Structure 1
Amino acid sequence: MSTSTHSLPRRSLLAAGGLGASALGLAACGGSDDSSSSGGGGGATANFDERGPITFATGKDTSGVLKEFLERWNKDHEDEKVTLVELPESADDQRSQFINNAQAKSDAYSVLGLDVVWTAEFAANQWVVELPKDKLPIDAMIPATVETATYFGKLYAMPFATNGQLLFSRKDLLEDAGVSEPPATYDEMYQIIEKVQGSNEGMNGFGGQFSKYEGLTCQISGVVKSAGGELFDKDGKPHADSKEAVEGLQVLRDGFDKKYIPQEALTYKEEESRQAFQDGKLVFLQNWPYVYEKFEADDGSSKVNGKVLVSLVPAVTGEGTSTVGGLNYAISAFAKNMGTALDFIAFMGAPEQQKAWFEQTSNPTASKAVFEDADLKKKYPFLATLKDSIDKGAVRPQVVKYGEVTQAIQEAAYGCLSGDTDAKAAMSDLQKQLTDLTKG
């Protein structure tokens, strides 16, 4: 799964518009390879007095809009121009190139477009520099996005883009079942599914991202938090075997066991689940906001046009919790002209650029102001709900060995959901793995 907000997941491109498919990528849940790096480090001390030309390395810009922003900067900074270095669409390939560049202590990349889950790894290895909070519009950003850019209380990146998942419900089916509001909890959702299926033979209940990939880590992180638990605390200690974490996984296992979640959902990523809902096969779907435009299409491609309610994702016992996605901008520890790099990051985080990016690409940005903007509210009627989703969102584990950690989470969760292990055993085994991965 690709993880750049300037690139799309490894599947066919979808038309832009609405909260378009390009909002998926990193602005949704970023992927990572199965390995984790070590070593490197030894980066230069930050010198924000140096000025001059810089490079901006980030995933491929399929929107075509990024170059317009760089041209705007370059027009006003003749001696401090930014050159775009487009990396591959694959998140794994992006991360590998970033790491290779850092381990070579190369100054080829100045500003780095990083998946939110890479912050800890890059900060711990001293591949990026700590940033001065007073030189960036951090106070204007949604707090949950700032958390993704922070490592042990220090800021190592500026949030640029963000995202949160939502629950999409079939309004017509709920009304037929005598239900006026979308469910707030899994228990409520499962009860509604029973009612709907009673009069709609062959209708499936709930779809999410349950395939063994990064989307499953997002799904588990959110459901565990909504049960009152956490996979890791703020000190980096794992709590996967807590009562709450087990309860979160068990709720999903119950959904599969009782046929509220179809067995085929074990193959669902974003697009597979989106298509199932759009084809009228699901009562409920948890997914990123980009799908809304597809559902509301009036060209005959959607069977749910005009029939969709949007709300927060369901909770176990607390509040419905999505995992926060996003794209952060950091400065390489080996870069020249860090002063210019810092100013460029501040430029991209300014209100004008944050709104323009949202308007032109349909990718949610990190600024609090864009969610209060009248124009954007009119364009996206669920904007307040999306902001609520991000505000309450769970952050994926901010650990150095993220690649290995996310793989362990996926293996444990998938083993349980597919029926191979029970929830308590799966999370107990996961706790042991996470403890070993985070030692030292």
Structure 2
Amino acid sequence: MGNQPAGDARRDRHPWDRRRFGQLLAGGAVLAAGGVLGRRVLAGDAATPGDPDGTGPVTLATGKDTAGYLRGVLDGWNAAHPAEPAELVELPAAADEVHAQLGGGNGRFDVLNLDVVWTAEFAARGWIAPLEEAQFPLRSFLPPVLSSARFAGRLYAVPYVTNAAMLYYRSDVLDAVGEHPPSTWAELARLSATVAPAHGLAGYAGQLSPYEGLTVNVLEAVRSAGGDVLGTDGMPVVDSPQARTGLEFLADGLRAGWIPPEALRYQEEESREAFQSGRLLFLRNWPYVYPQAASPGSAVAGRFGVVPLPGPHGRGSGVLGGSALAVSRFSRRQRTARALIAYLSGRDVQRQVLTRGGLPPVWADLYEDPELLERFPYLPVLRDAVLAAGSRPGIPHYQQLSLALSATSYEVLLGRRTAADGLAALAGDLRDVVR
């Protein structure tokens, strides 16, 4: 979404309040009137649908483009389509504000740049129009990115930017002691507990503040251990031995001290700064960190590398981030909107997504381009991370699921309850969300 580092719905920190969560359920803020999951559609807005065959000037609404590259991309479209120019509308950086302005059903915007976790909700509420798959170069994309673009068996959004986390490590420190970067949780814990303090460093950190980032970190750990939050039938399966193993891995790291307590306050930027300033041996974060950590003036420039996230017995499971482009169902110029999406998802623009925007593209062959590999040496690791990653639950009420998961997990990480107790209670909360 825009150029946010995670490509994920980054929200404000929120304390866990079980009474408030119950009030949300009872008051209908979680469950829309008449709305359920699966193939049934939530009650949408009463606004009049737009024109599927309309053409003319269109708007592209997105979160803040912090890299400042999108206007240049649209210049290429506008030069070739003077009768159908595209205007960029940048919304506030906060994901909640973007969500509020893109949703609700209105004709202000034609093309919506959605966080991948919003596709199901927007489709279920009738805010975006279904798309014909043949109009877009989907076969050229990395296969996992399509998983969050469909709802109820139909394509509702076209992947534009992807994202998957990597493990950053201090190569100079590991080389000095003859160690390789960790490929398992046990190796990560050992190196973090022994090598890091011997070199005046903290061990490992991710994003453990109670927000969307914690949801993603916990989901990665749970899936790496063989568990999940929802099953294939859409019902909660989070109260399982595998899920407990994943959450306990993080909680144990905090208790043992190889995950520093400061990590409980880290979002993406705080954790990046800790690694980039030379205070961490290992960091779980998104690809946007790489060019910043390698830039002149960085304390770790030329002294770090990246590998896939580890798991209990080998490579761990990642979680996909990124954004996708959708057509507002209320747009009066939907034919032009679809053509603009085809342009933005084409190979030339996808190359610019990386070279000018610094964001991971969705086209598979760009990850093997020799020129790009020389400029972005982390691309092979990133490609493997995306291919091994899975989507977050594609449900209309994802925001409520994430709130419950991150808040309960935070209580466990703080030591206020056990993983077994927390996940058992969470399973009950989620049954209320998905029923």
- What TM-score does the superposition give when structure 1 sets the normalisation length? 0.88
CA distance in 2 between counterparts of 1:294 and 1:426 reads 37
Greater CA drift, 118-127 or 283-292: 283-292
Deviation at 1:44, TM superposition (A): 6.3
Instruction: Give secondary structure in 2 for the equivalent of 1:260.
Output: coil
Equivalent residue, structure 2, for 1:154: 154
Which consecutive unaligned segments of at least 5 residues does structure 1 have?
9-23
Deviation at 1:319, TM superposition (A): 2.7
Equivalent residue, structure 1, for 2:40: none
Deviation at 1:31, TM superposition (A): 2.6
Equivalent residue, structure 2, for 1:15: none
Amino acid at match of 1:419: G
CA distance in 2 between counterparts of 1:143 and 1:42 reads 35
Query: Is the 1:45–1:129 Cα contact (8 Å) retained in structure 2?
Result: no
* Alignment map for 1:17-416 (pairs within 5 Å): 24-26=5-7, 29-32=8-11, 38=32, 39-41=43-45, 48-100=52-104, 102=105, 106-179=106-179, 181-197=180-196, 199-200=198-199, 202-299=200-297, 302-317=298-313, 319-416=315-412
Query: 1:375-398: per-residue Cα shift (whole Å, max 9, x none)?
Result: 211111110100111111131222
Query: Is the 2:128–2:327 Cα contact (8 Å) retained in structure 1?
Result: yes
Instruction: Give secondary structure in 2 for the equivalent of 1:284.
Output: strand
Query: Is the 1:205–1:261 Cα contact (8 Å) retained in structure 2?
Result: yes
Structure 1 residues 337 and 404: CA distance shift in structure 2, 3 A: same
Query: 1:246-281: per-residue Cα shift (whole Å, max 9, x none)?
Result: 111011111111111111111111121112222322
Aligned residues: 410
CA distance in 2 between counterparts of 1:79 and 1:37 reads 43
CA distance in 2 between counterparts of 1:40 and 1:388 reads 38
Amino acid at match of 2:187: E
Amino acid at match of 1:397: P
Deviation at 1:318, TM superposition (A): 5.3
Structure 1 residues 66 and 258: CA distance shift in structure 2, 3 A: same
CA distance in 2 between counterparts of 1:383 and 1:358 reads 10
Amino acid at match of 1:251: F
- What TM-score does the superposition give when structure 2 sets the normalisation length? 0.89
Deviation at 1:86, TM superposition (A): 2.0
Deviation at 1:85, TM superposition (A): 2.2
Amino acid at match of 1:379: R
Equivalent residue, structure 1, for 2:23: none
Amino acid at match of 1:246: R
Query: Is the 2:51–2:330 Cα contact (8 Å) retained in structure 1?
Result: no
Deviation at 1:215, TM superposition (A): 0.6
| 2:2 equivalent among 5, 15, 20 | 5
Query: Is the 2:31–2:433 Cα contact (8 Å) retained in structure 1?
Result: no
Deviation at 1:414, TM superposition (A): 0.5
Deviation at 1:224, TM superposition (A): 1.2
CA distance in 2 between counterparts of 1:330 and 1:37 reads 24
Query: Is the 1:277–1:283 Cα contact (8 Å) retained in structure 2?
Result: yes
CA distance in 2 between counterparts of 1:47 and 1:243 reads 51
Deviation at 1:148, TM superposition (A): 1.3
Query: 1:159-193: per-residue Cα shift (whole Å, max 9, x none)?
Result: 001111111111222233331x2111111111222
Query: Is the 1:5–1:363 Cα contact (8 Å) retained in structure 2?
Result: no
Deviation at 1:317, TM superposition (A): 3.7
Deviation at 1:75, TM superposition (A): 1.8
Is structure 2 residue 421 aligned with structure 1 residue 419? no
Amino acid at match of 1:193: S
Amino acid at match of 2:374: K
Deviation at 1:79, TM superposition (A): 2.2
Query: Is the 1:141–1:368 Cα contact (8 Å) retained in structure 2?
Result: yes
Query: Is the 2:59–2:88 Cα contact (8 Å) retained in structure 1?
Result: yes
Greater CA drift, 332-341 or 73-82: 73-82
Amino acid at match of 2:174: L
Structure 1 residues 235 and 342: CA distance shift in structure 2, 3 A: farther
CA distance in 2 between counterparts of 1:55 and 1:304 reads 41
Greater CA drift, 114-123 or 166-175: 166-175
Query: 1:36-74: per-residue Cα shift (whole Å, max 9, x none)?
Result: 583324676786433222221111223222112222212
CA distance in 2 between counterparts of 1:348 and 1:233 reads 34
Structure 1 residues 337 and 228: CA distance shift in structure 2, 3 A: same
Greater CA drift, 381-390 or 82-91: 82-91
Query: Is the 2:50–2:333 Cα contact (8 Å) retained in structure 1?
Result: no
Deviation at 1:297, TM superposition (A): 3.0
CA RMSD of aligned residues (A): 2.0
Amino acid at match of 2:390: A
Instruction: Give secondary structure in 1 for the equivalent of 2:66.
Output: coil
Structure 1 residues 281 and 86: CA distance shift in structure 2, 3 A: closer
Identity %: 36
